[in-house]
Chains A and B, each alone.
Chain A
Amino acid sequence: MGSIINMQRKHAIVIGGGIAGLCAALELARFDIDVDLVEKGPALGGHARSLTCKATDRCVKCGACLVEERLQAVVENPNIKVHLGSEIMEVQDSGGFSVVISNEGKSTCSCEADAVIIASGFSLFRPDGKPYGYKRFANVLTNLDLERMIRMQGSVKRPSDQREPEKIAFIQCVGSRDAKTGHLWCSRICCGAALRMSRLIRSRQPQVTISVFYIDIQSSGRDFQFFLDGLRNDVRLIRAIPADVFRTEDDRLSMSYFDPTSRQSKDEIFDMIILSVGLCPGDDLKGLCSLFGMKLSDSGFVTVSDKTEYPEKHGVFAAGTVLGPMGIAESIASAGKAVWEAIRYLKI
């Protein structure tokens, strides 16, 4: 589709440069809207930038590579001005928005915007309080730590001694579906991500055995059944969440769990344990939303109106995981919807 002419040039601010923010900025720019893209971190791309490609003999459609393409397009787009290391400091709402942006706390700039898209993403659950020894035992990692490790060095090694592990366990739903942490939701991406990751590791390091401890596998997609069937040969699936992890004298990890097949409690030794931690509301989402006079939902994500599925605040839209846990493809779709609503609002 060619660009549609925007007679009186409109101006929008997109907050957050993850996949949702990048897509929102590109879509807005296509309508000749000037975009200020405000990213808190030192680089664009958000969480998805740390993810590793999980293709084995073929692409498994994880979506991780969709980010780089968008990132390049944003940087090259003349309608988009990127502010790195930047945050929103002040907002005045007078029909449009007068916004002060600070750059690494050093300088500030102000800009006027007709619409705002909040796309500041999620924070990962911090599992320090769970009984799995995260931060105490070097070989207990989160799913994101593992993604980064494989992205950097191509294979899994034990952080404590750089040796290749013999046995890895994944624990699913850490900090999701958990009323005690106030996170009752399913994070939606971590089952698929753990299983794809398991397959990737097995294809590169076939001597490694992998066990996945889960409640139920929440994953969808057309090819999922096929994927799961193939996986059963590769990965041991155990339907129970483990209770404790201890370090053994020879620096391995002993994990206790109830084995539903033998109907016995077991202490099994692993070399590494990966915690599939959940997607939670962004740490500063509350502060950010309050600048716009918006409250968060009970679960801590952006509140949307029942009718429109968008925030009730005029001129403010939301995209991606600020709305709740979702994957990359869904975040892209969500950005498309948010821009579509914004365009209608701006009467372009």
Chain B
Amino acid sequence: MTKPDEIMDLSQIDHGVFRSFPFLQDHCITCGICSSSCPVSGIDGFDPRKLVRLISLGMKDEAVDSRWPWICTMCGKCQYVCPMDIHIPDLVRAVRSMRERDKVPGILHKGLEAAIRTGNNLGLPKEDFIFILEDVGEEIAEEPGFEGFTVPIDKDGANILTTIHNKLVNTHTEDLKHWWKIFYAAGEDWTVPSDQWEGTNWGLFTGDDQAMKTMVGRIADHMDRLKVKNLLWPE
């Protein structure tokens, strides 16, 4: 990224390159309310107004190679306040999608790659996954009022299918219990798939539409296969 006090290479400016972007970036009046609202403005020199200008000027290499699009959390606050309704998070995502995949920041890249390959961001084998679910299920069954609780894995014809966020079978297993107890108390007929259970879809963050489609397709397949009508997708 060009430092503010460096001389910028103006030959980079090409108003044509992002013309096909449908995010209204050229409507920006540089009011700066997006930057005033953004929770990560100021980190590494990032603020959304600057990024929008970069795109509007067509400075493709600066935008794609810079860390800025990856600092954004895609929370959408900027778009909410933008007087010109510029689709800033979508724009950020589109710029991210223009990066070569192996240059996508490590954690996102590796997580998504693992998810495509193994069915979840952690690369957790099926046996380990089932073991964790059953272990947590047994802990619940020991609590008063939840006697006989079991985890209905791959249950045909259940009413609800739920996906799992990878952190729930990693560092946050306690958080699995809240939903499950509610299901139990409500007498709900629910199930969880034994593999390809990943609920997060990091193609959203890396700008990878194909990966997003694959991940969503897997969930749809589970619903067809198990003949489940309702999906609970908390991610």
Find B36's partner among A173, A177, A181, A240 (CB 8 Å cutoff). A240
Asked if B33 contacts A242 (CB within 8 A), the reply is yes
Q: Does A209 contact B (CB under 8 A)?
A: no
Tell me the bound Cα distance from A256 to B4 in angstroms: 23
Asked if B36 contacts A258 (CB within 8 A), the reply is yes
Tell me the bound Cα distance from A258 to B39 in angstroms: 10
Tell me the bound Cα distance from A41 to B37 in angstroms: 40
Residues of A within 8 A of B105 (CB): none
Asked if B31 contacts A265 (CB within 8 A), the reply is no
Residues 1-53 (chain B) with a chain A CB within 8 angstroms: 4, 27, 29-33, 35-38, 41-42, 45, 47, 49
Asked if B45 contacts A241 (CB within 8 A), the reply is no
Q: Does A239 contact B (CB under 8 A)?
A: yes
Asked if A173 contacts B85 (CB within 8 A), the reply is no
CB distance from A61 to the nearest CB of B (A): 28
Asked if B42 contacts A241 (CB within 8 A), the reply is no
CB distance from B30 to the nearest CB of A (A): 6
Residues of B within 8 A of A216 (CB): 30
Tell me the bound Cα distance from A177 to B33 in angstroms: 13
Q: Does A215 contact B (CB under 8 A)?
A: yes
Q: Does B84 contact A (CB under 8 A)?
A: yes
Find B47's partner among A178, A244, A256, A263 (CB 8 Å cutoff). A263
Q: Does B81 contact A (CB under 8 A)?
A: yes
Of the listed residues B27, B32, B81, the one surrounded by the most CB atoms of chain A closer than 10 A to its CB is: B32
Tell me the bound Cα distance from A215 to B42 in angstroms: 19
Contacts A177-B29, A215-B29, A258-B41 given; does A242 touch B83 at CB 8 Å:
no
Of the listed residues B4, B45, B47, the one surrounded by the most CB atoms of chain A closer than 10 A to its CB is: B47
Interface size class of A (residues with CB under 8 A): 20 to 34
Tell me the bound Cα distance from A263 to B4 in angstroms: 10
CB distance from A253 to the nearest CB of B (A): 15
Residues of B within 8 A of A258 (CB): 32, 35-36, 38, 41-42, 47, 49
Residues of B within 8 A of A181 (CB): 83
Asked if B32 contacts A265 (CB within 8 A), the reply is no
Tell me the bound Cα distance from A145 to B83 in angstroms: 24
Residues of A within 8 A of B35 (CB): 240, 258, 260, 265
Asked if A179 contacts B42 (CB within 8 A), the reply is no
CB distance from B31 to the nearest CB of A (A): 4
Tell me the bound Cα distance from A222 to B37 in angstroms: 37
Q: Does A346 contact B (CB under 8 A)?
A: no
CB distance from A144 to the nearest CB of B (A): 21
Tell me the bound Cα distance from A216 to B28 in angstroms: 13
User: How would you classify the secondary structure of chain B's contact residues: helix, strand, loop or mixed?
Assistant: loop
Asked if B83 contacts A240 (CB within 8 A), the reply is no
Tell me the bound Cα distance from A242 to B33 in angstroms: 6
Asked if A177 contacts B42 (CB within 8 A), the reply is no
Per-position binary interface string of chain A over residues 257-294, scored 1 when its CB falls under 8 Å from any chain B CB and 0 otherwise: 11010011100000000000000000000000000000
Tell me the bound Cα distance from A125 to B229 in angstroms: 49
Nearest A residue to B77, CB-CB:
A243
Nearest B residue to A264, CB-CB:
B42
Tell me the bound Cα distance from A216 to B31 in angstroms: 8
Asked if A241 contacts B31 (CB within 8 A), the reply is yes
Nearest B residue to A238, CB-CB:
B32
Residues of A within 8 A of B29 (CB): 177, 215
Q: Does A106 contact B (CB under 8 A)?
A: no
Find A243's partner among B30, B81, B83, B84 (CB 8 Å cutoff). B81
Residues 74-126 (chain B) with a chain A CB within 8 angstroms: 81-85
Contacts A173-B31, A215-B29, A263-B45 given; does A256 touch B36 at CB 8 Å:
yes
Contacts A258-B47, A265-B42 given; does A243 touch B33 at CB 8 Å:
yes
Tell me the bound Cα distance from A25 to B4 in angstroms: 57
Tell me the bound Cα distance from A181 to B82 in angstroms: 11
Tell me the bound Cα distance from A246 to B142 in angstroms: 48
Tell me the bound Cα distance from A263 to B37 in angstroms: 13
Asked if A239 contacts B32 (CB within 8 A), the reply is yes
Asked if A177 contacts B37 (CB within 8 A), the reply is no
Asked if B41 contacts A265 (CB within 8 A), the reply is yes
Residues of A within 8 A of B85 (CB): 179-180
CB distance from B49 to the nearest CB of A (A): 8
Residues 97-141 (chain A) with a chain B CB within 8 angstroms: 131
Residues of B within 8 A of A264 (CB): 41-42
Tell me the bound Cα distance from A215 to B31 in angstroms: 5
Residues of A within 8 A of B41 (CB): 258, 264-265
Nearest A residue to B45, CB-CB:
A263
Asked if A180 contacts B83 (CB within 8 A), the reply is yes
Asked if A265 contacts B36 (CB within 8 A), the reply is yes
Tell me the bound Cα distance from A225 to B162 in angstroms: 65
Given contacts A258-B42, A264-B41, 4 further A-B contacts (CB under 8 A): A243-B33, A256-B36, A257-B32, A258-B49
Cβ contacts A to B, 8 pairs, < 8 Å: A173-B31, A181-B83, A241-B33, A242-B33, A243-B33, A243-B81, A257-B36, A264-B41
Q: Which A residues fall within an 8 A CB radius of B? A: 131, 173, 177-181, 215-216, 239-244, 256-258, 260, 263-265
- List 9 A-B pairs, minimum CB-CB distance, nearest first: A240-B32, A258-B35, A243-B36, A178-B83, A243-B37, A241-B33, A264-B42, A257-B36, A241-B31
